[in-house]
Amino acid sequence: MREPLITSHCDTMPHIRFIILSVTYLVVLLLFPFAAGADTLILKNGNRIETSRAWEEGGLIKCRRFGAVVGYPKESVERIEHSETPDASGESSDSSFEKSETLSEDEEDLFEITSVYDGDTVTAEKYSRKIKIRLMGIDAPESARGAMPSQPYSDASKKYLQNRVLNKRVRLKVFGEDRYGRCLAEVFLGETNVNLELIRAGFAEVYQGKMEKNFDSSAYREAETEAKSLRKGMWVWEKYHISPRKWRRMDH
């Protein structure tokens, strides 16, 4: 009679250890992408952006940040400080913009918009890492907050943005961070600049405060002029319109 095959606990332990080590390695790669050496982007506004790798592509300085690929306008980058860690050829990296890395147009650049706070603020997620985004160059009507009541067209602005981007994957053109730690970015749905579309639809105005250096607002101002002339969205009552920036400062 053939004896039954018995697998001991010890026989399965190497397999279990291999699985545990593999999962741990993947988690470390996702949570600590800079562990193997890092580049630092020095922006002209003084901000320092820590990243695992930076390169020039398509007029942008791209880097791996927030668990994905993010692009900064080349004009807003002072320099790249590369780590001294030798590459595969044994040579150290330099700080030139001439090095580039070719990436396919795939989902690596995409973030999913998981929530919309109001007409100019959203949350994006990539690999379970969340970032709060303030749409660059625009200012939408204010939602109610504390003693401050909601501004006319604030709900319409928020719903417009929700319909455009909520649960959709977008690309970001990042210009830095604001004083609240929010990522300042233009949001692109395919080839559409969502920030600019909010202006065109009359659900946001051009931001009246200080903007990041090298941000070109000319297209935004042209779109606002057109929206006003056509009395779109909040411009239907242009005579009584109050800028969101002024609304925030009013004694309600």
Give the tens place of pLDDT for each residue, 184-227: 999 999 999 999 999 999 999 999 998 888 899 999 999 999 99
How high is the pLDDT of residue 17? Answer: 59
CA dihedral over 60, 64, 65, 70, signed as positive or negative: positive
Domains and CATH numbers, the chain: 36-85 (2.30.30.100), 110-249 (2.40.50.90)
Annotated catalytic, 142?
Answer: yes
Give the tens place of pLDDT for each residue, 48-57: 777 767 878 7
**Candidate list 53, 64, 65, 134, residue with the active-site label:** 134
Of the two residues 233 and 2, the one the predictor is more confident about is: 233
How high is the pLDDT of residue 20? Answer: 59
How high is the pLDDT of residue 93? Answer: 40
For the cut 60, the answer to whether the pLDDT of residue 60 exceeds it is yes
How high is the pLDDT of residue 252? Answer: 57
Mean pLDDT of the chain: 77
Task: In whole angstroms, give the CA distance from residue 28 to residue 48.
Answer: 23
How high is the pLDDT of residue 53? Answer: 74
How high is the pLDDT of residue 96? Answer: 35
**Candidate list 142, 197, 205, 212, residue with the active-site label:** 142
Task: Provide, rounded to the nearest whole percent, the portion of the chain with pLDDT above 90.
Answer: 40
Q: For strands 183-189 and 192-193, give the pairing.
A: antiparallel
How high is the pLDDT of residue 160? Answer: 97
Place of tokens 């002072």: 78
Mean pLDDT of 77-94: 55
pLDDT band at residue 248 using 50, 70 and 90 as cut-offs: confident
How high is the pLDDT of residue 238? Answer: 78
Annotated catalytic, 182?
Answer: yes
Closest CA to 186 of 102, 106, 45, 70: 70
Q: Are 252 and 147 in contact (CB under 8 A)?
A: yes
Q: Are 184 and 134 in contact (CB under 8 A)?
A: yes
How high is the pLDDT of residue 57? Answer: 76
Give the tens place of pLDDT for each residue, 15-50: 565 555 555 545 444 444 433 457 787 887 777 777
Q: For strands 183-189 and 129-135, give the pairing.
A: parallel
How high is the pLDDT of residue 13? Answer: 53
How high is the pLDDT of residue 104? Answer: 33
Of the two residues 131 and 7, the one the predictor is more confident about is: 131
pLDDT band at residue 147 using 50, 70 and 90 as cut-offs: confident
Q: Can you give the pTM of this predicted structure?
A: 0.62
**Candidate list 182, 221, 222, 226, residue with the active-site label:** 182
